[in-house]
Structures are given as structure tokens and as C-alpha cells.
A and B are shown apart, each in its own frame.
Chain A
């Protein structure tokens, strides 16, 4: 069996505040294989982005990794010195942010931003770095890259800017790319293009993708496996087709049921009643229990751990006898 390129073990991220400690991410474990696309879904505030930030070592203070380990190949990276972690960011882990309009420094030509990133990580001359930058822009589908490279960010459209951002994230051929809602800020019409470009360019380079999104459609088309997060915890993880067709956790079932399907005549959109608890008010036991249609006593007192219930599938729900307590 091949070794995972990225391995997250029992990750817990906490924010100490005046009114006690908020746990943004609790006890999350998952692996990403080389070249694999792992989708991470959940509502806003479910801890998806925080997990990505923890992996790349960019949690805003006072947040901190309170527990757990993050392994990149053979190297443990959650406890690296800032300067060594910096050399991994961009070089071995790339990151794509949500909003391409604000991800680029408006005062610098994109050539400068690309070349600067390339030369930070690779021993290339200015001229070679520029060639590489043009090639990258070409690869992400920017027409006339050799000329457009000297434009400023505001001279590109939103979709084009996100392509530039992807080129920037892939400057030094990272092994993993964390894409934090890469299409949320874009027009629906260009979302699919951006996802395609990203998937293609990563596949060519053998880079794995951790795709954070709340768009199940994107996950269904793009991901190999999907992790469903709820209130900072992992609800379910498994191959994307089987999770969509046969979700195990009642929350994922609700989530999948809420995807509108073509051809079905609905008067109303399906939704899960209630809303996700705030981080300072996560109920005892299973975090989903107040909204769960199949709740029973044990759910209100004991917290289930995401446990293997079928080969390759884990879920955190007391409905399954294999599940253990966290």
C-alpha cells in the first residue's frame, strides 16, 4: 500500500478566548493519497477552512493546534519552526484561497508575484523564472500569457485571476494543494472551468488536492473521496460515489437529500431543520443530536468517534454498532 502524501491525525484546533476555549476543529483524522482529490464539505463554520489553515500552518493567533499530528510524507509538520514551515508552504503544499479578487496584491504586476514565488523556492535565474511563469500561465489557460504576464491583477477578470492564483499555488510543483472554496466567489459559468483547470493541472503534476467547499455538485464531479464535517468534527468520510448514494451519517443523508435534482418537481427545496450550533454552545454527546431525525438517548450523552463501519468508510454515529466513543 502506498504511503499517504498527507496524513492528519486527531487534529484539534482551539481558540482561547476571554470566555473560555472554543474548539474550532476537534479530533479529525484523515489521509490524502498521492494524486487523490479529497473533498471536504460542511456548512459555514464547520471547521473546513480551519483544517486547511492548520495543515499549512496559517492559523490566525490566538488559535493553535492543541492536539494531534500532521504528516507530510515522512515529515511531521505541525510542530516545525516557523522558518522551516515557511519553506514547505508554497514548495510542498500549495494553497488557493476563496476570493481571487483579493488574493493578489493589487499594486504589483502578476509577473513580479509569480517570479518572486518561483525564486523563493527554486534556484532559478530571473529570466528562467519568468519563462517558467509564462509556461504556468499558459498551462492554466491564460491566453497570450507572454504578454499578459506584465499586467496588473485588476486588468484580469475574476475567473482569469483565479487561474493566476492557481498558477501561483503551483509555482514550485507542490505535492498537495489545499483549495479553500476556490470557486465560491466566481460566476457559476466559470466555476466549472476553474475546477477543470485545477484538476487537470494537478493531475499532470501528480499533486493531490484537498478541496474545501460547500458545493456538493463540485465534490460529486471532482473528488475521489469526500469528508463531511459538522461543528468542527468529522461526521463521515468515504469514496464520493458511495457517500452520495448511500450516506451513513444522518447529517450527510440530510445534506445529500438537500441537493436539488433535475427533473424532480419540487415545491420547496429540502433542508435540514435547525442550524449548526455555535462553537461555544456545542451540545453534549453527538453535536448533531438536536437536529437529528433518528436521535436516541445515547446521542445526547456520549460522543461518537468517526469509526470504520465498512472498508474505506468511517462515520461518527451511534446507529452503527462498530462506532466507538471518542
Chain B
């Protein structure tokens, strides 16, 4: 188990180094950093002095190592646009994005699982047909369209939920939460649904396909032949086996939810990391972009690592210890 984790950690570090290289290239070579920092009237000599002081004349490999070293200390430079440390900027925006992401991941997981299991167990029911048809819409409609549609119906016409923003937030030290006020929770509903819809349909279809597959296996037949109750077979035996592959996808999807909250955050003016990124792209705020890239990569790598360890916990066949007879 320990060796496995160490091996996975080493792989994660490699992946992060590679992403850091890309982030560094973006940071260093997309436009001239000096040109973005100085005004038109700065003299060329001063620019050269700045270039030397920032170490931009050093060998590339040296610059890269310095970039990695700074990144390790959470140092990504100063935002060109806002003149604040990038790390601080991202951290201040992070709670909004994470709350949105976890709310929609929860929605996606709960409804995706329930509907997936239901449609697998009742393949001929009318409701299954309906759910499957509607899920096709969920998969194929672009997120921004769903968001705008929801805003139109529930914010503009019905006036049930606010159409933008985060509502009132409460400061808990370094974490600003919208989950503790009524207006914060109400503001969360529409963006969370918008963001979850695609993942929800994906998880549902995946669970359904996996479950149908598992229900055809010999051990399910044997469980039936032993006279176990339907409930024990479906929820005791089939569901757990279904969850093994579903786990991976769901984990990766959680990463995507965080990474691709960009569109939803833009549609709902949600003050998260995604909207920060969009604005930064518009004004070529390269340090923010580079840091965002690193941050998203870190999220994916961490989630992947957790999923792999969970896999290990769920599926005894992957555990090498506890030998026994073996095959």
C-alpha cells in the first residue's frame, strides 16, 4: 500500500513538473513580460535594467528552476492588471468556485447515481425512456444555453432565484462562504444546477451502462440462484461492483467541474477563479493564466491520486498483501 502511494506520488510530481514547464513557457514567451509591465514612455535603458533585475537574461533552464522554486512557495508573481500577488488573488476567489463545484458535484452524483440505478433496474419502464431522452438533451445542450435558459425561466419570469452574483457572504477567516446566508444559498441554486447538468447525465448514463453490464455477470446469476432478495442483489452485490469504474470518471469529472466552471461563472457573474481567468485572458494577464494552469493541474493530480487510493480500498483484488492461496 505504502509503496503504491509513493509510486503514485512520484508520478504526480512528474506530471506537475511537466505542467509547470508549459506554464513557464506561457509565462515567459507569450508576449514580452517587460512590455506588459512598463508604460509607453519608459526608456529602453530602464527596460533593460528591469529585464536584468527580473532575471530574464539568465539561461532558460535557470529561469525555469526559479519559476518552479517560486511556485513551490506559492509565488506566481504580480498580476499585471490588478497589481496584487497572483496567489492571493486566486485564494480569495477559490472559496466561491469550490462551493459551486462541490454543490454541483453533489447534485450530479446523487441524482446521477439514483437515476442511473433506476433506469438500469427498470429498463422497460416509461419513466426510463423519458429520463434517457431528457438526458440526451442534457448532454448535447451547451452549458451557457442551459444557464441562460434557467435564468430566463427562474430568475426573470418566475423571480424565484437571483440571476447573478453570490448573494451575501460570511467571512470565516480566510474562507468567504455563501452557504450560511439565505441569499447566498438561493444564489447558488441556478449556477449549481447549470454546472451539474452535464456531469449528472454523464454519471447517470455511465452508472446505467455499468449496472446493466454487472447485472449480466455470472456472480449476479449465482446470487439469484442462491435465492438472495432482489434488494440484496441490486444494492448489495450489483451496486458496489458498478461503483468501481464509476468512481474514476466521477473523480475526474469533479476536476472538470472545477476547471470548466469558467462558462457557468461567466454566465452567472459568479466571483470565482473561472471568471478571474476569463478576465485575465481578455487583458493577457499572463501570471494569472500561468498560475491558473498550475492550479487546475494540481486539482486534477490530487483528485486522481485520491481516486486511485479509493480504488485500492474498494477493490480487494488490487491489494497485494494478505496473499493466501492465490491462483
Contacts and interface: CB of A to CB of B under 8 A. Distances in A.
Interface of A: 56, 58, 86-91, 94-95, 97, 99, 102-109, 116-117, 120-121, 148, 151-152, 154-158, 160, 165, 168-169, 171-172
Given A105-B241, A120-B232, A90 B225 contact: yes
B132 to A, nearest CB: 19
B38 to A, nearest CB: 62
Contacts of B317: 106, 152, 154
Interface of B is mostly: helix
Contacts of A104: 219, 222
Given A116-B236, A156-B325, A158-B327, A107 B314 contact: yes
B310 to A, nearest CB: 13
Contacts of A155: 322-326
Nearest to B228: A120
Nearest to A174: B227
A234 B152 CA distance: 69
A242 to B, nearest CB: 32
B32 to A, nearest CB: 57
Given A103-B219, A105-B219, A154 B226 contact: no
A158 B326 CA distance: 9
13 contacts: A90-B228, A95-B222, A97-B218, A97-B221, A105-B223, A108-B240, A116-B232, A120-B226, A120-B229, A148-B325, A154-B317, A155-B324, A171-B226
B245 to A, nearest CB: 12
Contacts of B39: none
Given A104-B219, A154-B327, A88 B316 contact: no
Interface in B290-327: 314-317, 322-327
A205 B314 CA distance: 37
Contact of B316 (A97, A154, A158): A154
B217 interface: yes
B122 interface: no
Contacts of B325: 148, 151, 155-157, 160
Contact of B222 (A88, A103, A158): A103
A102 to B, nearest CB: 4
Q: Which of A90, A91, A172 has the most CB of B within 10 A?
A: A90
B28 interface: no
Given A99-B218, A105-B237, A90 B227 contact: yes
A134 to B, nearest CB: 16
B324 to A, nearest CB: 3
Nearest to B218: A102
Contacts of B51: none
B224 A148 contact: no
B222 A168 contact: yes
Contacts of B223: 105
Nearest to B124: A61
Contacts of B241: 105-107
Q: Which of B217, B222, B317 has most chain A Cβ within 10 Å?
A: B222
Contacts of A120: 226-229, 232
A143 B244 CA distance: 32
Contacts of B322: 151, 155
B311 to A, nearest CB: 12
B316 A107 contact: yes
Interface in B182-230: 217-219, 221-230
A121 B225 CA distance: 12
Contacts of A87: 227
B222 A89 contact: no
B216 to A, nearest CB: 9
Contacts of A94: 225-226
B191 to A, nearest CB: 37
Contact of A107 (B222, B226, B227, B240): B240
Contacts of A168: 222, 226
Contacts of A121: 227
Contacts of A88: 227
Interface-centre pick from B225, B232, B327 (highest chain A CB count, 10 A): B225
A227 to B, nearest CB: 21
A58 B230 CA distance: 13
B319 to A, nearest CB: 9
A115 to B, nearest CB: 12
B228 A116 contact: yes
Given A107-B316, A148-B324, A155-B326, A58 B224 contact: yes
Interface in B126-145: none
A87 B226 CA distance: 9
Nearest to A89: B227
A66 B37 CA distance: 84
- By Cβ-Cβ distance, the 6 closest A-B pairs, closest first, are A90-B227, A155-B324, A89-B227, A95-B225, A102-B218, A90-B226
A267 to B, nearest CB: 38
A107 B315 contact: yes
Contacts of A108: 237, 240
A105 B327 CA distance: 16
A117 B219 CA distance: 13
B233 to A, nearest CB: 10
Nearest to B226: A90
A117 B229 CA distance: 10
Which of B219, B227, B228 has its CB near the most chain A CB atoms (within 10 A)? B227
Given A105-B223, A169-B226, 16 more contacts: A86-B224, A86-B227, A90-B225, A90-B228, A94-B226, A105-B241, A107-B240, A108-B240, A117-B228, A120-B226, A151-B322, A154-B316, A154-B317, A154-B327, A165-B222, A172-B227
A97 B227 contact: no
Contacts of B228: 86, 90, 116-117, 120
For A87, A103, A156, A160, which residue has the most chain B Cβ atoms within 10 angstroms?
Answer: A103
Nearest to B223: A105
A157 B223 CA distance: 20
A99 B315 CA distance: 21
Contacts of B227: 86-91, 117, 120-121, 172
